[in-house]
Structure 1
Amino acid sequence: MKISVGKKLYLSILSVFLVFAVAFIVFQQEREKQFKIDTLNLKLQDYNSRMEEYLRLFPDFSEEALDRYVETHYIQNIRVTLIRANGDVLYDSKLKDYSHINNHSTRPEIASALKHGAGSTVDRNSETVHGDFFYSATYFPKQQLIIRSALPYTSDLARSLQADQHYIWFAIGAILLLTIILYRFISRLSDNITKLRTFASRADHNESLETEDLAVFPNDELGEIAERIIKMYKRLQTTRREQDVLKRQLTQNIAHELKTPVASIQGYLETILENPNINDATREQFLQRSYAQSQRLTSLLQDISTLNRMDDAPEMMSEENVNISDIVSNIQKETALQLQQKEMKFCNRLQPNIVVRGSTSLLYSVFRNLTDNAIAYAGVGTTITIDAELSSDELFDDHRKWHFTFSDNGVGVPSEHLPRIFERFYRVDKGRSRKMGGTGLGLAIVKNAVLLHGGTISAHNNEEGGLRFEFTLRA
């Protein structure tokens, strides 16, 4: 059976903490025991020092005087031994026949006292009086004397030197509390991981994500992260589906738009081929119509290519200083014949040398498509007006923008169509648009080009009639 990540993490952290807790408890117990031993040793060392003071005050001491001193001073049941520096015993409060006492120079506490000035031994069996004692010895070099005090190592003394057991119960309680807290935390983490694993599995198999087990998440940071990941994926799925729908619609529209000129060209050419005796005037007329449809087809392909270039590689757009005033003047000259045929006027109110930063070809497409759109749909005898002003409310030159207004006083556009006129292949009057030779992509190119140059664009109907485009370009 495979162990989950949450359980692995829980067991790993718990194991590390338990090892640490046990090691800390053992260390603390030993430390507390050593502290009690050191405290008792310090007490006996103090007793030895007081005994040495007594001996200095009464150098002609007798054994009876020492016995009375031991019995009446400070500590009950204490055993005191006076030892020369060579290890011979001068006095022992528990044993009076010194002839049978062995030399004490090899006793651990005596050897330590001779070497370091003081020494102690815990729970050592006495060869002299046959019992276990806690020894503490002090060496006084001037007197060449070692004073050793000792307490019987009884069960009471052993218990007094042990660590406090209440600390262990406190540590066990802390371990249990941490175990519960850690379990709750790991459990919530495991829930989030389980939900993410379920989400990944269903996403990999294209299964539905709208289920109860993916609807509610724990109310913490990890739950919020998991929930956001799933919501982001759902949004991406929705966006992908919408893009697929748009691509299908765009493909259908492109196929439909291509089909009309191709069918027209094919029909005219088939008529010429199937009727070799057709008169020259009719043949010429059919060829001119085929040529016109091929031009429309070329324009459509160019517009599609322009839009694809803006969609797929906007970062590859080369930037340079572009003189908008020169571009508009050239467009006015290029469309002079069309304007004359429609009895239209072009009112160019742009000041000289309006310079923006961007792509010359795309900026040309903006003003050329707006002009062609007005010529095609504004109506006979109308006027096209273009104006611009530089924003004055910007703090820095790098952020200033030109605000352009491109308008006509023609028939305008019904208000319900205004929000959609920048969509690809959208036409207000489909039959009339195709008859005019439009591709349905001109205004889409205008909007995308303006957005690529960091600007905004909107369309409005003039109160006095006609259509008005307002857009911005970086100065």
Structure 2
Amino acid sequence: MSFRLKLFISFAAIFTVFTLLVMIFQYDREKKFRIGQLENTLDNITEIAHNYMTSNSIVDSGSYIMMDSLMEILPAENIRLTVINPKGIVLYDSEVSAVETMENHLERPEVRQSVSSESGANIRESATTGSSYYYYARFYTDYFVRTATLYDLRVKDFLHVEKLFIIYLILLFLVTSVILHYITRKFYEIITKLKYFIIRLRSGEELDETMEFPKDELGSISNEFTSLYKELNDAQKNLVIEKNKLYSHLSALNEGIAFFSPMKEKVLTNNHFIQNLNLLSEMSTISAEKIFEVPELKPIVQFIDRQLKESAVHSTDDAHPQMEMDLQKGSRYFNVKCVFFQDKSFEIVIIDATKLEKRRLMKQQMTSNIAHELKTPVATVMGYMETLQHNSISPEKQKYFIDKAHAQARRLSDLIEDISTLNRIEEASDKYELKQVLVKDVVAEVEEQLKLKLDEHHIKVHVDIPGKLKIKGNKSLLFSIFYNLFDNVIKYGGDGAEIYLSNYLKDKKNYYFSFANTGNEIDDKHLTRIFERFYRIDDGRSRKTGGT
């Protein structure tokens, strides 16, 4: 079905409905008007009869035969007049002489209706005369006065609505249909031209800057479309660029971020948000909306609900309503932040701050341990210097104190070198050269360098590492790792200890090594701090040896 036909049918249907409604309304109005005229005539006769009965005291005297005189002077023809008492007994009827033979009229529809209303009317066949009447009745406290006109062809014609108005509406409908046909055809031609113009725009065809349009509504609309198309095309290109930037930025972020509508529905999110949400809530979900069900985030959810209930978001150009909280879940630390925008949409950012927090705690512990580690050597050196400065002692004693002070100074130098090495590893780890290293060769170099100390303390070494096992790393740092492990056994393991070093597992990415030794054991209370930097577990935290 063409657009033109649809348009014509739509207009025709609307006008048809309108015409029918007008016709029905006018027909009903005309019918009610004619019925009203008839009832008005009957009501006048009823009122005349009531006044006549009152002025002649007919009810009191019971001389209802006097009503015949009234019937003779009434101008209307075929009028039937009936007087009924409140119990329904007929007192007078202009068509029946023996009224005592008539049945009770209290249940007649028009009589019953006049009790509850101002008047009552009904069209029916008379049970007394067998003729059809249009009845009209009124109740006057002491009696009913009912008038009726014979419902014959004359009355029917009077009540029948004139057909002229209907014929007029039909003719008007036909003329309007012809006009609608002409209008829709012209409108369809304009729409068709505009449609082909829009198709050219959609297909991406270059628009001719010199293109001329008709000097009518089509021309105005086409010019507006051309201008809008150029603006939208430029805006769309910029929007695509900005959207790609946003997606790239969200993907590159280490933080989890999600944007929500005022209905708490997800608009946009990145993968880190779902990952951090699962870690925080300890549940598996792919729905960003689950964040509103996490008990630990109840303060954030309450903040969101308060903002959404307010009539407007109170914000400035530089600041938006926001809330931030830190929380710990098991061994992990999270920072959660919520920011509201002026349209009541909001963003939630979840940052897994575990590494940063652990690094902060580690640095705090390391600083404490370093301060503790430096305290005694410095105090010892100062004590030796004060002794040499303020006491007269023999050259042998002087040499002894100087050697001791020198040993403590060397220890401080080694400690500072360890700190410097750790800083270089953390801050410039990417500058160390990485290459394939034979692990067994590195361990052999460590054994060779510490051979005298190992022999001195009668320490045996058992190495179970394949000779061809290679790992990618920095040889100098690997040497330091194994050197410190061996040196710790020499310092703390005691004489006669044994060292066991082996490669016990490998997978696609890693090799796993086990280092163990016999000798002095570590108390259970120190096990949790065994990998803490610059923490030593020798009794009394004496300063015989240093920690790394």
| TM-score bracket, shorter-length normalisation | 0.3 to 0.5
Larger-Rg structure = 2
Normalised by the length of structure 1, the TM-score is 0.43
Higher relative contact order (CA 8 A, sep 6+): 1
Normalised by the length of structure 2, the TM-score is 0.37
